[in-house]
Structures are given as structure tokens and as C-alpha cells.
Amino acid sequence: MQEIETAILSIGIVVNTAINASVWYKLGSIQGRVEECENYKVSPK
């Protein structure tokens, strides 16, 4: 039973790391787009 729990835990950590990496990547690209949009909104004034 202990081995199974350890395996699940390590898989969970790997999956969690992968999800976090993709989330941060998406957040980074979204933030870049938001900044571009704000620059665009500010410029025409």
C-alpha cells in the first residue's frame, strides 16, 4: 500500500509541475497581450 501511495504522490507532483508550467506560460503570454492592448488603448488618446 505504501508503494502505491508513493507512486501516486510522485505522479501527482510531476503532473502538478507540468500544469503549473503550462499555466505560467499561458499567464505570461496573456500578460504580454494585455500590455499590448493597454499600450494600444493609451496611444490613440
> pLDDT digit string (tens) for 1-45?
789 999 999 999 999 999 999 998 888 888 888 888 888 777 655
d(CA 44, CA 10): 52
- Choose among 14, 37, 17: nearest CA to 25: 17
Confidence (pTM): 0.52
Supply the pLDDT for residue 22: 92
Supply the pLDDT for residue 44: 58
